[in-house]
Chain A
Amino acid sequence: MKNLNSVFASILILISAISFSSCQDEVTTTYTYRAMMPVYLQMSDVRARTITIEPAHELENPGKIYLYGNYLLINEPQEGIHILDNTNPASPVNLNFIPIKGNVDLAVNNNMLYADNYVDLLVFDISNIRSIKLVERVKDVFNHLYTTSDTGVILTFKDTVLTSESDHGFMGRGFFLSDSRASFASNFSGAAQSYGQGGSMARFTLMSGHLYAVDDYSLRVFDVKNPAKPMHIRNINLGWGIETIFPFQENLFIGSNSGMHIYDAKTPSNPQKMSVFEHVRACDPVVVNEKFAFVTLRNGRNCFNGVNELQVVDIANLRQPKLVKAYPMLNPHGLALAGDFLYVAEGKHGLKSFNVANVMGIDQNQLEFLQSMKSVDIIPGPKSLIVIGPDGVCQFDYNTPSKLKKLSCINVKNPVNVQ
């Protein structure tokens, strides 16, 4: 009974103490957001740093994947290039890493690796993969990064996470919240588009002894007939929002926000515009064969196409491309064409394969639908089909195109997020 008395007394004291102190509710709001912080760099400082080959790094955010002989070269955006030995696609070996700040793309020509280093183009001799050497620096070719070229200062952006705290918040479904939410979201989509998509990424491709690099608004042409000494020939203005470049039989197919540009590159040093196919938008990957271009259109957070489909475009007459047929898809991302076989990455829905010998009946010729293989991009390599998805960089044996066989997956620290 005595114990109970003291319990009662303490409860009473507790309640009265709290009541009389008129305790106020507490609210803490933490806002954590991703922002692009501007970084100004003096190009002379960038050039002064020596590039030393480092031991293998773990893949964090793999960017472009390039196949060269038995090697896989994987870009780590803004950081450098991973080199993997892919002699046996069932167990690729991570060999080493070339640290190149500001690097977003690469291409290899006769054992010469081309890589961008902010405004410069670097050439590495990779004939001996264990002893990679920087052999050439072509200066000031991607000069759109300069704030003013005479000062030699470049502007880049660093992905940063910022946190702010406040002791005021909004209550649940309060009016403040529901109002602000909409504007928030739209602001963010706007902000993301201004850096995420185009950014200042160069996209490289090699064809007929020339290196073509596209950035936001131009096509830069380099003569690489002497692989160790690229020569910058010209810039061709393409309009804004350039995204991808796909070479095929002396033609360049350039994907932009406004459409697919087709350039005739029979004179490799001076590509000529042939036509623009307007229906294709930025996040619509394109693959091409002799007669047709295959394009995937998807509806997503950043790709407001309103449809999810595979379009077949007749390009027999490159000056007048025309839509042949469209097939409904689930949420198609990247695609790959290997002979008569087309592989479509369906995002979170999986991976599909088709026989496209008859372009009018692609839907009746679906070979496989691997629903467990979530994927965003596919590269048809000589030894394996490389599939990029939440599991990392995976390789499949596709000797029997209708039956894919998984060989390996390279783990990635931050795999793509498929939603």
Chain B
Amino acid sequence: MTTRLLILGFWIFAYLPAFGQNRPYFNQTELGVLIGNPIENWSGKNKNRVDFSLISFHGAEISKNQVLGLSVGLDQYEPLTVFPVALGWRGFLGKENRPQLIGGFDLGGGFALLEKKEKTEWYESWHQGGLLLSPSIGVKLPSTRGKKTALTMSIAYKRQELGYFMGNFDFNPTPRPFTNSKLPPGYSSITETTYLFHSLVARMGFIF
């Protein structure tokens, strides 16, 4: 699913310059924090999750007030580093060269590329990426000097799915896969964990 979205995203991105010939390139890069409410730990306590988030949106104007493009970035979810790649839309409300409202919507996937796939004699494990969905709203404060550059501040909701797989290998002398659709061949046990992170994101950055 996420891979398909990614391909679609790149495809659109590749075509953007074609229909954006006289549509100027648009970039919005913001840094901020991801705030979430994790599940209780073993002692029943939970402390808010506050982590780093970076987003860089690249797009082209499709109409006077709208931009379509691709957003990439980096999100930290406690120990996990996730690279989000999403199709994005940005819309502007308000008079040009004055403070404007920016609305945004990103849909794509997050990939746990830094999380190493482990494989030993006994088990293997890896992280799986998952769907990413993020609506955002913010303000654009144009700089007094340059026409194009502007300061932005936004808040967003980010929904990120992730997965973790660990499989212990089958130790039978001649490992025979066991006929069962729930257990893939070669494993004696598997642990599949799905995470769904709901985060509030507060970011600041620039539009070029």
Q: Is A29 an interface residue (CB 8 A)?
A: yes
Q: Is A150 an interface residue (CB 8 A)?
A: no
Q: Tell me whether A11 and B103 are in contact in the complex, defined as CB-CB below 8 angstroms, given that A171-B79, A303-B173 are known contacts.
A: yes
Q: Is A339 an interface residue (CB 8 A)?
A: no
Q: Is B22 an interface residue (CB 8 A)?
A: no
Contact digits for A193-217, partner B, Cβ 8 Å, 1 yes 0 no: 1001100000000000000000000
Contact of B105 among A11, A32, A303 (CB under 8 A): A11
- Taking a contact as CB atoms under 8 Å apart, the answer to whether B122 and A24 are in contact is no
Smallest distance from the beta carbon of A2 to chain B beta carbons, Å? Answer: 11
Q: Is B164 an interface residue (CB 8 A)?
A: yes
Q: Is A19 an interface residue (CB 8 A)?
A: yes
Interface centre among B78, B193, B196 (most CB of A within 10 A): B193
Contact of A302 among B105, B115, B173 (CB under 8 A): B173
Q: Tell me whether A414 and B186 are in contact in the complex, defined as CB-CB below 8 angstroms, given that A168-B39, A171-B78 are known contacts.
A: no
Q: What's the Cα separation between A174 and B164 when bound, in Å?
A: 12
- Taking a contact as CB atoms under 8 Å apart, the answer to whether A189 and B196 are in contact is no
**In the complex, chain A residues whose CB is within 8 Å of the CB of B104:** 11
Contact of A414 among B101, B103, B177 (CB under 8 A): B177
Contact of B38 among A24, A181, A303, A416 (CB under 8 A): A24
**In the complex, chain B residues whose CB is within 8 Å of the CB of A282:** 173
Q: Is A49 an interface residue (CB 8 A)?
A: no
- Taking a contact as CB atoms under 8 Å apart, the answer to whether B136 and A173 are in contact is no
Q: What's the Cα separation between A274 and B106 when bound, in Å?
A: 77
Would you list which residues of chain A between 167 and 192 have a CB under 8 Å from chain B?
167-174, 176, 181, 184-186, 188-189, 192
Q: Is A8 an interface residue (CB 8 A)?
A: yes
- Taking a contact as CB atoms under 8 Å apart, the answer to whether B171 and A302 are in contact is yes
Q: Is A143 an interface residue (CB 8 A)?
A: no
Smallest distance from the beta carbon of B130 to chain A beta carbons, Å? Answer: 12
- Taking a contact as CB atoms under 8 Å apart, the answer to whether A25 and B192 are in contact is no
- Taking a contact as CB atoms under 8 Å apart, the answer to whether B177 and A189 are in contact is no
- Taking a contact as CB atoms under 8 Å apart, the answer to whether A32 and B176 are in contact is no
Q: What's the Cα separation between A194 and B171 when bound, in Å?
A: 11
Smallest distance from the beta carbon of B95 to chain A beta carbons, Å? Answer: 11
Q: Is B8 an interface residue (CB 8 A)?
A: no
**In the complex, chain A residues whose CB is within 8 Å of the CB of B180:** 34, 161
Q: Is A60 an interface residue (CB 8 A)?
A: yes
- Taking a contact as CB atoms under 8 Å apart, the answer to whether A414 and B185 are in contact is yes
Q: Is A4 an interface residue (CB 8 A)?
A: yes
**In the complex, chain A residues whose CB is within 8 Å of the CB of B175:** 301, 416-417, 419
Contact of A8 among B101, B188, B190 (CB under 8 A): B101
- Taking a contact as CB atoms under 8 Å apart, the answer to whether A11 and B123 are in contact is no
Smallest distance from the beta carbon of B118 to chain A beta carbons, Å? Answer: 9
Q: What's the Cα separation between A1 and B91 when bound, in Å?
A: 10
**In the complex, chain B residues whose CB is within 8 Å of the CB of A171:** 78-80, 195
Q: Is B21 an interface residue (CB 8 A)?
A: no
Contact digits for A12-28, partner B, Cβ 8 Å, 1 yes 0 no: 10110011001111111
- Taking a contact as CB atoms under 8 Å apart, the answer to whether B193 and A170 are in contact is yes
Q: In terms of DSSP, what is the predominant structure of the interface of chain A? A: mixed
- Taking a contact as CB atoms under 8 Å apart, the answer to whether A192 and B188 are in contact is yes
**In the complex, chain B residues whose CB is within 8 Å of the CB of A1:** 65, 93
Smallest distance from the beta carbon of B164 to chain A beta carbons, Å? Answer: 7
Q: Is A131 an interface residue (CB 8 A)?
A: no
- Taking a contact as CB atoms under 8 Å apart, the answer to whether B176 and A172 are in contact is no
Q: What's the Cα separation between A282 and B172 when bound, in Å?
A: 12
- Taking a contact as CB atoms under 8 Å apart, the answer to whether B174 and A416 are in contact is yes
| Interface size grouping (class) on chain B | 35 or more
- Taking a contact as CB atoms under 8 Å apart, the answer to whether B37 and A14 are in contact is no
**In the complex, chain B residues whose CB is within 8 Å of the CB of A4:** 65-66, 91-93, 103
**In the complex, chain A residues whose CB is within 8 Å of the CB of B156:** 15
**In the complex, chain A residues whose CB is within 8 Å of the CB of B136:** 11, 15
Q: What's the Cα separation between A414 and B198 when bound, in Å?
A: 42
Would you list which residues of chain B between 117 and 131 have a CB under 8 Å from chain A?
120-123, 125, 127
Q: What's the Cα separation between A4 and B91 when bound, in Å?
A: 7
Would you list which residues of chain A between 49 and 70 have a CB under 8 Å from chain B?
60-61
Q: Is A30 an interface residue (CB 8 A)?
A: yes
- Taking a contact as CB atoms under 8 Å apart, the answer to whether A33 and B171 are in contact is no
- Taking a contact as CB atoms under 8 Å apart, the answer to whether A159 and B178 are in contact is yes
- Taking a contact as CB atoms under 8 Å apart, the answer to whether B200 and A18 are in contact is yes
Smallest distance from the beta carbon of B51 to chain A beta carbons, Å? Answer: 12
Would you list which residues of chain B between 148 and 190 have a CB under 8 Å from chain A?
155-157, 164, 166, 168-180, 182-183, 185-190
**In the complex, chain A residues whose CB is within 8 Å of the CB of B103:** 4, 7-8, 11
Q: Is A225 an interface residue (CB 8 A)?
A: no
Q: Which partner residue on chain B sits nearest A377 by CB separation? A: B174
Q: What's the Cα separation between A188 and B202 when bound, in Å?
A: 46
Query: Lowest 8 A-B CB distances belong to which pairs?
Result: A33-B189, A192-B171, A185-B122, A23-B198, A26-B196, A196-B172, A161-B180, A169-B193
Chain B contacts to A: CB under 8 angstroms: 36-40, 42, 49, 65-66, 78-80, 91-93, 101, 103-105, 115, 120-123, 125, 127, 135-137, 155-157, 164, 166, 168-180, 182-183, 185-198, 200
Could you write out 16 A-B pairs with CB less than 8 Å apart? A1-B65, A8-B91, A11-B137, A18-B157, A18-B200, A24-B198, A25-B49, A26-B198, A30-B192, A169-B164, A172-B115, A172-B164, A181-B123, A181-B166, A188-B122, A196-B172
Further 11 A-B residue pairs, CB within 8 A, beyond A24-B39, A34-B183, A414-B185:
A11-B135, A11-B137, A19-B155, A24-B38, A30-B191, A32-B182, A34-B170, A168-B40, A197-B172, A302-B172, A333-B174
